[in-house]
Amino acid sequence: VRDLLAGVRDGTWVVVNAAEYSDLETVACAVLLAEQAGQSFLFRTGPSFVRALSGLEPRAPLRGQELRPAAGRGEHGLIVVGSHVSQTSRQLAALQERGGLTGIELDVPALLNSSGDAVTATARQVAGALRQADVLLYTSRALVQGASKQDSLAISRTVSAALARITGLALAARPAWIIAKGGITSHDVAVAGLGMRRAEVAGQLFDGLISVFRPADAAPDALGMPYVVFPGNVGDDQMLSQAVAILRAA
């Protein structure tokens, strides 16, 4: 692996097919040696590789006090679902079946036909509901596509930006925690919605899965709040519901 990485140049991709932590540790060692020799790498990985690269020992998933929000935050959390993959839709349905939260649907066709009023109105609705219960903000499940790939990408960006904007406006209600479901959704909510520039990685909710961040350089109303990044295709049908239950019990 060390010799392979030594020959990598000019933004070449290297895909690591790891079956266990020992594979990741081998790659991490090779990366560190290559960096000592003057190379630099940009990583796109899951949380398991971060642990291997940092030389951290295994630790139990976060629970209880480790997930408790800072003093002065509200009692209820926000789940933001933008992913449209079938696994997310099943997890969303399972969460809704359990009840105990307020569901607010962002109607995508209405959003695309509005001048921004839909975002402001939805944000007010979310902020108000957060004072009474946990809130599930999700996009309508019928996938809206454009006439071309470029048009479809523009629609996706518009929807993701709207979710981030709604979350940012709803921060005034100081949610106890936020779960963002979907890779693009979690990135846009963190950067555009929460103004996050730097955060502490607190750990994971499950073994090697579902990272929890605490914003350190972000919008004032986001500081001290657990922020959970939940990729779209991760977990079984009940894992989103389990994540919500864990945060509620903190």
Per-residue pLDDT reduced to its tens digit, 64-83: 999 999 888 999 999 999 99
Query: Residue 150: what pLDDT?
Result: 92
Beta bridge partners of 227: 178, 213
User: For all residues of the chain together, what is the average pLDDT?
Assistant: 92
pLDDT over threshold 70, residue 57 = yes
Between 121-125, 141-145, 172-176, 236-240, the lowest mean confidence (pLDDT) is in 141-145
Mean pLDDT of 134-147: 92
pLDDT over threshold 70, residue 138 = yes
Give the closest residue to 95 by CA, choosing from 243, 250, 204: 243
Between 44-48, 49-53, 154-158, the lowest mean confidence (pLDDT) is in 44-48
How many other β-carbons are positioned within 10 Å of the β-carbon of residue 40?
6
CA torsion sign for 119, 122, 127, 130 is negative
pLDDT over threshold 70, residue 176 = yes
Query: Residue 245: what pLDDT?
Result: 97
Tell me 85's DSSP state. Answer: S
Q: How confident is the model at residue 206 (pLDDT cuts 50, 70, 90)?
A: very high
* 161 backbone dihedrals φ, ψ, rounded to 5°: -65, -35
pLDDT over threshold 70, residue 115 = no
Give the closest residue to 77 by CA, choosing from 210, 202, 217, 249: 249
pTM score, two decimals? 0.88
CA distance 151 to 156: 9
pLDDT over threshold 90, residue 189 = yes
Query: Residue 44: what pLDDT?
Result: 87
